């Protein structure tokens, strides 16, 4: 099955990002395909390479980047949501890119299922 993932919460304030990451890892391990991960609303904070979690905490920004590199996953950050939150191209972690909502629409068309994490 081909999945697209929509993440609407940041990595440090809500469980949604953790759940999305673990779902994606499990889906890949089960032989499924991830067409795209789209970060929207506060989810754009998952792309900020300047974030520095405590040493005893997980670093979801880095984890998403590594997962994308290993599995060639398209990580797209919504441009409008990013601009509202001060997330600019120059602070994106490797593997993330900024684009518009058309990428979310395409993801919904191309995937068998779109899974939404966050409210």
Alpha-helix residue ranges (DSSP H) falling in the chain: 16-29, 60-71, 79-84, 102-110
Q: Is 103 among the catalytic positions?
A: no
Task: Please answer whether residues 73 and 37 qualify as being in contact, where contact means their C-beta atoms are separated by less than 8 angstroms.
Answer: yes
The residues that bridge with 6 in the sheet, in sequence order, are 38, 116
Point out the catalytic residue in the list 78, 81, 92, 111. Answer: 78
**Side-chain-facing half-sphere of 81: CA atoms under 13 Å:** 22
Please give the CATH number for the structural domain made up of 2-117: 3.40.1260.10
Model confidence over 44-101: pLDDT tens digits? 999 999 987 777 778 899 999 999 999 999 999 999 999 999 999 999 999 999 999 9
User: What is the pTM assigned to this prediction?
Assistant: 0.95
- In the chain, where the domains are located: 2-117
Say what percent of the chain tops pLDDT 90: 89
**Neighbour order of strands in the sheet with 113-117:** 96-99, 74-78, 33-39, 2-7, 113-117
């Amino acid at each position: 099955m081909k999945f697209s993932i929509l993440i609407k919460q940041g990595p440090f304030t809500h469980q949604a990002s953790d759940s999305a990451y673990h779902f994606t890892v499990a889906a890949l391990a089960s032989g499924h395909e991830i067409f795209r991960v789209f970060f929207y609303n506060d989810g754009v904070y998952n792309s900020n390479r300047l974030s520095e979690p405590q040493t005893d905490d997980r670093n979801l920004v880095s984890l998403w980047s590594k997962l994308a590199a290993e599995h060639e996953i398209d990580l797209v950050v919504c441009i409008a949501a990013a601009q509202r939150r001060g997330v600019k191209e120059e602070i994106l972690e490797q593997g993330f890119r900024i684009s518009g909502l058309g990428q979310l629409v395409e993801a919904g068309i191309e995937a068998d299922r779109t899974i939404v994490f966050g409210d």
